[in-house]
């Protein structure tokens, strides 16, 4: 291959250096935030003069933080379930169907990935206002579902691509109705795609802030919205603590996904 790593011997130090810089650029802010959340300085001084858990204590003693975390979890969980169910159905149709405009439909489903989120947010906000749904959980879920669905369609679609339909046909001849065959044979066979879809859908909703700001109401705030709202009032290390928890949960999910993928290979 032209870009074979072995062949680029002369460029190797440069490439390795570049990779390290990019990784640092990605990782340092996370490390920085986590460090600040354990720092004693109220003014977020770095390096922290001493270490403390008090910001976490404040965080956990304030029921509004806990409530917003639960809201985040609830919305992300519902979005995940809807996303994999609808994603499976959509992927099945796009994969198996032979109807007019199939490719156009596929592209349409994926537009939320490339559309500026702010544009989507304004449009949805206007729509929900019209429908009288602004500020409701339903609106929140629909908005997040819209950005989660492309991930499901892509990962479940890829898994279906690698699944031989004859296997489903065999189940049907064995006596299973077409939907029974899909549930009992196709779904387990593409479970790795469904699992990836679930992780990505959950994360798409869990750490999403732009749509969330538009969909939120004073009584309906997800964790990122709460962080953002607090940030506008005052800069306290409690925000660093909340952010660290948000990030920790995200990393945990990614690690789980990686472990699952590795487990499948052996």
Partner 1 sequence: MTEPFLSIRSIRKTYGQVTAVKNVTMDVAEGEFMTFLGPSGSGKSTTLYILAGFQDPTDGDILLKGQSLLSTPSHKRNIGMVFQRYTLFPHLSVGENVAFPLRIRRASQVEIAERVKKALKLVRLEGFEERKPALMSGGQQQRVALARALIYNPPVLLMDEPLSALDKKLREEIQFEIRRIHQETGVTILYVTHDQEEALRLSDRIAVFSEGEIDQIGTGQELYANPATHFVAGFIGDSNFINAEVLSNEGGQARLSLSGGTVIDGVPVHAGKSGGKSVLLLLRPERLSLSTRPLDSGLVVTINDITFLGNNIEVTTHTGNGESLSVRLPFGHEAISSISRGDKAWLSFEPKSTHAFA
* Chain residues in the site for partner 1 (CB under 8 A): 164, 166-167, 169-178, 180-181, 184-185, 188-189, 191
- Distance from C-alpha of 206 to C-alpha of 245, rounded to nearest angstrom: 12
Decide: residue 164, CB within 10 A, 0-12 exposed, 13-18 middle, 19+ buried.
exposed
Q: Closer to partner 1 at the Cβ: 47 or 175? A: 175
Q: Closer to partner 1 at the Cβ: 132 or 175? A: 175
Q: Which residues contact 185 (CB under 8 A, 6 or more apart)?
A: 167, 168, 171, 176
Q: Taking the complex as a whole, how short is the minimal distance between the CB of residue 174 and partner 1, in angstroms?
A: 4
Q: Closer to partner 1 at the Cβ: 154 or 171? A: 171
Contact between 181 and 92 under an 8 Å Cβ cutoff? The reply is no
Q: Taking the complex as a whole, how short is the minimal distance between the CB of residue 133 and partner 1, in angstroms?
A: 40
Q: Closer to partner 1 at the Cβ: 13 or 188? A: 188
Q: Taking the complex as a whole, how short is the minimal distance between the CB of residue 97 and partner 1, in angstroms?
A: 16
Q: Closer to partner 1 at the Cβ: 187 or 247? A: 187
Bridge partner list, 51: 39
Q: Taking the complex as a whole, how short is the minimal distance between the CB of residue 189 and partner 1, in angstroms?
A: 5
Q: Taking the complex as a whole, how short is the minimal distance between the CB of residue 181 and partner 1, in angstroms?
A: 8
104-110 contact pairs (CB < 8 A, 24+): 106/153, 109/149, 109/150, 109/153, 110/150, 110/153, 110/154
């Amino acid at each position: 291959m032209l870009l074979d790593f072995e062949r680029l011997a002369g460029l190797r130090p440069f490439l390795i250096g570049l990779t390290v810089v990019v990784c640092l650029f990605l990782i340092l802010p996370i490390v920085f935030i986590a460090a600040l959340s354990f720092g004693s300085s109220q003014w977020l001084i770095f390096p922290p003069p001493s270490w403390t858990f008090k910001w976490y204590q404040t965080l956990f003693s304030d029921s509004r933080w806990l409530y917003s975390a639960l809201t985040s979890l609830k919305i992300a969980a519902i979005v995940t379930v809807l996303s994999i169910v609808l994603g499976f159905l959509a992927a099945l149709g796009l994969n198996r169907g032979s109807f007019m405009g199939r490719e156009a439909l596929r592209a349409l489903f994926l537009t939320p990935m490339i559309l500026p989120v702010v544009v989507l947010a304004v449009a949805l906000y206007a729509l929900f206002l019209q429908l009288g749904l602004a500020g409701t959980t339903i609106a929140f879920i629909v908005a997040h579902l819209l950005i989660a669905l492309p991930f499901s369609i892509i990962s479940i679609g890829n898994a279906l691509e690698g699944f031989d339909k004859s296997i489903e046909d065999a189940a049907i001849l064995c006596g299973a109705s077409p939907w029974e065959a899909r549930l009992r044979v196709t779904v387990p066979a593409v479970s790795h795609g469904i699992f990836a879809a679930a992780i990505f859908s959950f994360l798409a909703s869990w750490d999403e802030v732009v749509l969330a700001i538009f969909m939120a109401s004073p009584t309906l705030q997800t964790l990122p919205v709460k962080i953002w709202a607090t940030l506008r009032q005052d800069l306290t290390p409690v925000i660093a603590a909340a952010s660290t928890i948000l990030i920790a949960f995200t990393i945990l999910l990614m690690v789980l996904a990686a472990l699952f993928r590795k487990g499948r290979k052996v």
